[in-house]
């Protein structure tokens, strides 16, 4: 009979520890979710940083497109200039 009482007490204490560990786990999860929500939605949070990064990316892409257009213009200009100079050389030598 004593063994059964001891087993009942062990089972009772184990249930208590399980309940306590469950409550502690829930509290930790609530704290972690609160911290996560804060970092995602705050002024310097992940969403704001991602929005800023998108804006910077768009500006850089626009600048690169302008630079490419300028380079294309320069190439065409100097090709025309070289063709004209070559034609002048040919006319002089004729």
Q: Are 21 and 29 in contact (CB under 8 A)?
A: no
* d(C-alpha 81, C-alpha 23), whole Å: 81
| Span of 12-16, 44-48, 77-81, 84-88 with lowest mean pLDDT | 12-16
Selection from 23, 2, 21 nearest residue 13 by Cα: 21
60: its two tokens:
């850089």
Average pLDDT of the chain to the nearest whole number: 84
pLDDT band with cut points at 50, 70 and 90 for residue 22 = confident
45 dihedral zone (left: phi>0; alpha: psi -120 to 50; beta): beta
- With 0.75 as the threshold, say if the pTM is over it: no
Residue-level pLDDT at 29:
97
Is the per-residue pLDDT at 4 higher than 90? no
Residue-level pLDDT at 34:
93
């Amino acid at each position: 009979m004593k063994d059964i009482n001891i087993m009942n007490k062990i089972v009772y204490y184990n249930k208590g520890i399980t309940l306590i560990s469950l409550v502690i786990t829930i509290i930790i999860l609530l704290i972690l979710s609160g911290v996560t929500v804060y970092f995602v939605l705050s002024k310097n949070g992940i969403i704001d940083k991602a929005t800023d990064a998108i804006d910077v990316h768009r500006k850089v892409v626009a600048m690169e497109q302008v630079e490419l257009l300028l380079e294309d213009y320069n190439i065409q200009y100097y090709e025309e200039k070289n063709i004209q100079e070559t034609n002048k050389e040919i006319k002089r030598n004729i």
